Structure 1
Amino acid sequence: MTDARHEDAVVGFDTLRPGLMRVAYRMLGSVADAEDILQEAFIRWMKVDRGEVMEPEAFLRRTVTRLCLDQLKSARHQRETYVGPWLPEPVVEEEEEEDVTLPLMLALERLSPLERAAFLLHDVFGLAYEEIATTIQRDVAACRQLAARARTHVREERPRYQVSRHQGLEIAKAFFVASRSGDMQALGDMLAADISVHADGGGKRAAAITPIFGFDAVMKFQQILADKLREHGSTLVRTGFVNGLPGFITLEADGEFQTTALDIEDGRISAIYVVRNPDKLRHLH
């Protein structure tokens, strides 16, 4: 391969990388695994006869999707043996990602790998069923059925009462201040009656081993947490959108990062998602 052809191949892949990363991450819920998938796809891209590839983007999307389907087979067992609630690795962005929020990603976990692929490729990325059929190696009718079943399962997890970007970030800042200072009155005013807390420590950092449901239980938990945080400290690093939800990154007393994402409905926080597992936070460094 000439240097020029090699460079063109690299540039072509790098141009498509952001879109391919979106597919891989939404399929797997793991930044590290998605990066591994893209590395393998790049290796295959460099080996293929690109003169025979009519549509590089479609070819690479098929490659990435099929690699993700293989990865999901082993990931399912890992999730079943995971210590405590499992949450996707947090991706923190300045702007809100509207296509796949954290609750929807959790709903996708309940789907089969093929249902997940069909739903994401069609409903999120807007691909035709004919291309999806080629990608996952099923006929068009089967792909329609897979996407329809998936849609039924995840319909309830679509955002219903979205707040504006500004309002969401203001609520996130206010939640940080109230939860760290122990202002329980201010904190209580922000929470919905059916509030829930989901904390992912992965068995490697302290976290609630099961989700906490209900206003009274969450307020009791937040009071205990606030007492500890006043003693040990918690520093706000930045606010932003964590997997599409308003939230923030903090530096905790043990020197590790933590992300908090807030699902907000009708102006009140309906769910709190906290990632503490250091293995899921490495990319934030």
Structure 2
Amino acid sequence: MTEQEQQEAGTGTGAGVPGRVADGPAGDRLAQFEEQRGRLWAIAYRIMGTVTDADDAVQEAWLRWQALPGEQTVASPRGYLTTVVSRICYDLLGSARARRETYVGPWLPEPLLHGTGGPLPLGGAVPEGPGGPEDRVTLDESVGMALLTVLERLTPAERTAFILHDVFSVPFPEIAEAVGRTPDSVRQLASRARKRVRAESPRRTVDRAEHRRTVEAFLSAVMGGDFEALLSVLDPEVIWRSDGGGKVSAARRPVLGREKVARFVQGLVTRGAQREGLRVALAEVNGATGLVFVDPAGEQSGVFAFTVHAGQITEVDAVTNPDKLAHLDLDRL
């Protein structure tokens, strides 16, 4: 079972309470970690953008937690483990960025299905000074494919500071420990990241019902072969990104504009019609309605995430790289 599946099953959420590590049997230490597991995984996924890296980071955090001397006292397991997993992700992100620079085609995050990965604690310290509650990003927003894609443009330090402060309300001094900077430097990192996110995030609706209706209209137009209806649901400046990773056939450059995207989708439908038993279904993709298609023959499957504004689709992120879908049980769809 992956970390994602564990947290969806409800095995790792909770606010956490200060306590001693050493007192009591090893089971106490395990219980303290399990109480924070869901939150740790949520932080790791948002910093890394991949399920596999999030799983690895949480596992490494557990090993470090387990290896603490029996006599060592930790005032706040929640704070300690947040710092540990954030530092692990910060270190991993440097090498991950280097690999992503040589990636074949657009690099997109690994998608999550069926919501945002389970219930997560919203509590925490209130951000200080600039970047107050009105600037914070909700957990739902922070797991969306559109925002995760924008976060790829930040430096590892900016991304870590932004996620920890603006999403999880971690105080600047604690973030400073994770990234090896001063609190003032971290404050500047978070501010710089916030400005970039505001400037580069796509327009999007916050109305979940409107988002779903728009995706349903897209699916209806595609399946019905109605080209004019397809054009009407696409924004004039819509962007389609495909992540096949060089493993499967996919556009290696973003497709730009309503007409080009519509014709590109037509081509996908034509090729899909040649595959017997191809299944297409609506699904929750990173917290919002998206689409999943499954090829029973195992040749190619994919997950589509949509960004919607004013009843039209402004962005589509299509993940078809089989390595990025390996954690999903698509056969259940």
TM-score (norm 1): 0.92
Q: Could you tell me which of 22, 25, 28 is aligned with 1:8?
A: 28
Q: Could you tell me which of 51, 70, 76 is aligned with 2:97?
A: 76
- Whether the 8 Å contact between 1:104 and 1:157 is mirrored in structure 2 is no
Distance 1:54 1:150 in 2: 31
More displaced stretch, 29-38 vs 216-225: 216-225
1:10-159 pair list within 5 angstroms: 10-49=30-69, 51-94=72-115, 97-158=140-201
1:35 partner amino acid: D
Alignment deviations for residues 59-117 of structure 1 (CA, whole Å, 9 cap, x no partner): 11111011111111110111011011100000123369233422221111111111111
Distance 1:9 1:19 in 2: 17
Give the superposition deviation at 1:181.
3.6
Give the aligned partner of residue 195 of structure 1.
238
The RMSD of aligned alpha carbons is 2.1
More displaced stretch, 207-216 vs 93-102: 93-102
Q: 1:253 to 1:212 in 2, by over 3 A?
A: farther
Alignment deviations for residues 185-220 of structure 1 (CA, whole Å, 9 cap, x no partner): 221121110011101000111111110001111122
1:62 partner amino acid: T
1:60 partner amino acid: L
- Whether the 8 Å contact between 1:90 and 1:275 is mirrored in structure 2 is yes
TM-score (norm 2): 0.79
Distance 1:178 1:252 in 2: 21
Distance 1:94 1:35 in 2: 18
Give the superposition deviation at 1:254.
4.3
Q: Which has the higher strand share?
A: 1
Q: Which runs of 4+ in 1 moved over 6 A?
A: none
Q: Which has the higher helix share?
A: 1
Alignment deviations for residues 112-151 of structure 1 (CA, whole Å, 9 cap, x no partner): 1111111111111112212212222211111111111111
User: 5+ unaligned residues in a row in structure 1: which ranges?
Assistant: none
Q: Could you tell me which of 247, 251, 271 is aligned with 2:315?
A: 271
- Whether the 8 Å contact between 2:302 and 2:318 is mirrored in structure 1 is yes
Question: Does the residue aligned with 1:97 lie in a helix, a strand or coil?
Answer: helix
1:219 aligns with 2:262: yes
1:207 aligns with 2:227: no
Alignment deviations for residues 250-284 of structure 1 (CA, whole Å, 9 cap, x no partner): 21354243101110011100111100001000111
Distance 2:104 2:31 in 1: 41
More displaced stretch, 170-179 vs 17-26: 170-179
Identity over aligned pairs, percent = 40
Give the aligned partner of residue 244 of structure 1.
287
Question: Does the residue aligned with 2:142 lie in a helix, a strand or coil?
Answer: coil
User: 5+ unaligned residues in a row in structure 2: which ranges?
Assistant: 1-20, 117-138
More displaced stretch, 194-203 vs 45-54: 45-54
- Whether the 8 Å contact between 1:200 and 1:276 is mirrored in structure 2 is yes
Give the aligned partner of residue 178 of structure 1.
221
Distance 1:104 1:9 in 2: 35
1:235 aligns with 2:255: no
- Whether the 8 Å contact between 1:263 and 1:271 is mirrored in structure 2 is yes
- Whether the 8 Å contact between 1:163 and 1:266 is mirrored in structure 2 is no
Question: Does the residue aligned with 2:93 lie in a helix, a strand or coil?
Answer: helix
- Whether the 8 Å contact between 1:100 and 1:124 is mirrored in structure 2 is no
